[in-house]
Structure 1
Amino acid sequence: MSPQPSSSSSFTAPHAGAITDVAGIEVGHFSDPRRPTGCTVILARDGAVAGVDVRGAAPGTRETDLLAPGNFVQQVHAVMLAGGSAWGLAAAEGAMRWLEERGIGLDVRFGTLPIVPAAVLFDLPLGDARIRPDAAAGYAACEAASKAAPAEGNVGAGSGALVGKLFGLDRAMKGGIGTASVTVKGVTVGALIACNALGDVLDPDTAQVVAGARTEDGRALLDTRRALLRGELPQPLLAGTNTTLGVIATDAVLTKVQANRLASVAHDGLARAINPVHTMSDGDTLFALATGRVPLEGDAPGMTVLGTMAAEVVARATLRAVQAARTVRIGASVFPSASELG
């Protein structure tokens, strides 16, 4: 059965920073009107030095090996985040076509080859699982891309995201996509996070659960961490049916080694905002992009400060992903948002 239509699928709030505050970054969403799924592209038309760190045990990715520091390719031109599990990786093909039509990519003599790493999350339980992002969806996301602060909530790769599934899908809540940024001494770091976590989402400043597994009556938050430590047993899980994806971007000049390190340290932000995180049923993957507009000279932040900034924006963007989410109803199933449960 199709989800009930809603005019409040995305969220607008006072500006708290966005990944598009980083010079050289654009974001575009495609949200499929037939069921809650979609994709989100992060464009770097002029190229960006990139790194990646995969911490979840059940990832669905493409073109991540080339981001290793010792490998040839130095820059990427877009990153695609998508729903649809492994089928959703096809969305990257649409981004490649869109970029190639504009002459953006790596000159390989016989053509211009756009470099588009991608990662996917599992959103198949919501509606008809045969509907998932494809190349046309990826192309449409690129067409929608802009430098404006991207919509948050039930849009793009966050359209079908759920959180708090450890005690059964019927006790889960709506996840989504969120963004944040910080600037220190002229250097900006931003993040975009699509949160489809197995665990709960916490406010990183208070450690209070904001969204996640609900009590048996569905009316309150359970607190998964405490429930597990009390000895409550989770339901059997299908591996890979979760995953939080994200991109961290900075305008700093970084090497591939530094970009990979930034992606690694940024996972600290996920650990502050999700519990449990990096599980056997999550494919948690973070990319890092450096557009190279600001040299790290003089009193500019070094890697320690950049890492702190990256973890902070990842934690904030993860929180905003569930704060921005809106309740979804599919047949008899209801996946409430944090704002409605509270």
Structure 2
Amino acid sequence: MPSTSTFGSIVEIPGLLVGHCTLSERPTGCSVVLAPNGAVGAVDVRGAAPGTRETDLLDPANLVDKVHAVVLSGGSAFGLDAATGVVRWLEEHHIGFETGYGRVPIVPAAVLFDLSVVREGDNPTARPNAEAGYAACEAASASTPAAGNVGAGAGACVGKLFGLERCMKGGIGNASVRVGPWVVGALVACNAVGDVIDPTTGQVLAGARTVDGHNLLDTQRAFLAGERGKRPLAGTNTTIGVVATNATLTKAQAKRLAMSAHDGLARSIRPAHTTLDGDTLFALATGTETGPVDLMLLTVMAAEATALATVDAIRQARGITTLNGVVPAAMNMSA
């Protein structure tokens, strides 16, 4: 069962709600961060194989200055359909960009690949769709979100450079960092091809296992030593997430927040931002804190919150048994 984070969460930023929808037919799902009052949005894509929607409008040079939700989803490109349900929910609640002809909800999205995660008796074609996105909105609240095998993290796995039979369970995690009046929070769904590392100790928490399956391999060390395994296809991995703050930021400043958040991925995932991943992080600024902005501080906080949320995703994950074998979680392994 999913649990809650010990690191805080993104809903500590006033004005944000989080909801999950987890499918029962197969380990997959979607998660939504709602900003009913709108939030300045940005995105930074570092992986070479992303799956995204509505990211061009987040460019600081483009017109729309606020978004109303961000969707994180499993299901690969099929999962982008979840955003359609979020748009419908927002329209029904009269939330969106005013055009003079009605309100148009602005909903960027990113997906991760979990199509290979199938249990005995599952429907392998089950993917998050518009109904799942709508259900995630219905479930959204300001309570600390569930973590682990829920929403976009339901089918997430990590440590796949040596084959799916040697990977471990990923998930979705939360964190927040407070300094003075400022809060920066993160929600991260970790489905990395690499290992997840405790950035404080350097210990591998979850990732590729040794051939016997009983110990952690340390992917980077093995790779640099010349070991090679069953390399997965490009795009069949990816860590996606949202980092948010209560600060009042421009789109350009929010972009810097998203860029710096990727430093948190680099600290907690090894290797990160590979040609096989589609690592994508969104940034949201709700503007509920109107004091002068210390962007340097906020970017440091963003990296820290993202690293903690990534670790949380792994610590909260639970093992599952798939057609590829047992996929253990960090709680079942020792380095």
TM-score interval, normalised by the smaller of the two chains: over 0.9
Residue ranges of structure 1 left out of the alignment (5+ in a row): 1-7
Compare 68-77 and 326-335 and name the one that shifted more: 326-335
Let me know the Cα RMSD of the aligned residues: 1.0
* Cα shift at 1:110: 1.6
Looking at structure 2, the residues matched to 66 and 248 of structure 1 have their Cα atoms a distance apart, in angstroms, of 18
What corresponds to 1:67 in structure 2?
58
Q: In the alignment, is residue 108 of structure 1 matched against residue 99 of structure 2? A: yes
Q: Alignment partner for residue 281 of structure 1, among 268, 276, 280?
A: 276
Looking at structure 1, the residues matched to 105 and 281 of structure 2 have their Cα atoms a distance apart, in angstroms, of 20
Following TM superposition, the consecutive aligned residue runs of length 4 or more in structure 1 with deviations greater than 4 angstroms are none
Q: Alignment partner for residue 246 of structure 2, among 227, 247, 251?
A: 251
Residue deviations 1:35-81 (CA, integer Å, cap 9, x gap): 10000000000000011000000000000000000000000000000
SS at 2:237's partner residue?
coil
What corresponds to 1:144 in structure 2?
139
Report the TM-score when normalising by structure 2.
0.97
Compare 106-115 and 47-56 and name the one that shifted more: 106-115
SS at 1:271's partner residue?
helix
Looking at structure 2, the residues matched to 246 and 203 of structure 1 have their Cα atoms a distance apart, in angstroms, of 18
SS at 2:106's partner residue?
coil
Looking at structure 2, the residues matched to 97 and 231 of structure 1 have their Cα atoms a distance apart, in angstroms, of 50
Looking at structure 1, the residues matched to 328 and 8 of structure 2 have their Cα atoms a distance apart, in angstroms, of 26
SS at 2:310's partner residue?
helix
* Cα shift at 1:296: 3.5
Compare 71-80 and 330-339 and name the one that shifted more: 330-339
What corresponds to 1:56 in structure 2?
47
Quick check: 1:202–1:274 contact (8 Å CA) kept in 2?
yes
* Cα shift at 1:265: 0.9
How many percent of aligned residue pairs carry the same amino acid? 60
Quick check: 1:326–1:337 contact (8 Å CA) kept in 2?
yes
Q: Alignment partner for residue 316 of structure 1, among 308, 320, 334?
A: 308
Quick check: 1:177–1:322 contact (8 Å CA) kept in 2?
yes
Q: In the alignment, is residue 117 of structure 1 matched against residue 108 of structure 2? A: yes
Q: In the alignment, is residue 337 of structure 1 matched against residue 332 of structure 2? A: no
Counterpart amino acid of residue 238 in structure 1? L
Looking at structure 1, the residues matched to 210 and 315 of structure 2 have their Cα atoms a distance apart, in angstroms, of 20
Counterpart amino acid of residue 183 in structure 1? R
Q: Alignment partner for residue 19 of structure 2, among 15, 24, 28?
A: 28
Counterpart amino acid of residue 286 in structure 1? L
Residue deviations 1:113-162 (CA, integer Å, cap 9, x gap): 00000000000011243110000000000000000000000000000000
Quick check: 1:296–1:302 contact (8 Å CA) kept in 2?
no
Report the TM-score when normalising by structure 1.
0.95
SS at 1:92's partner residue?
helix
Aligned length: 330
What corresponds to 1:133 in structure 2?
128
* Cα shift at 1:331: 4.0
Residue ranges of structure 2 left out of the alignment (5+ in a row): none
SS at 2:27's partner residue?
coil
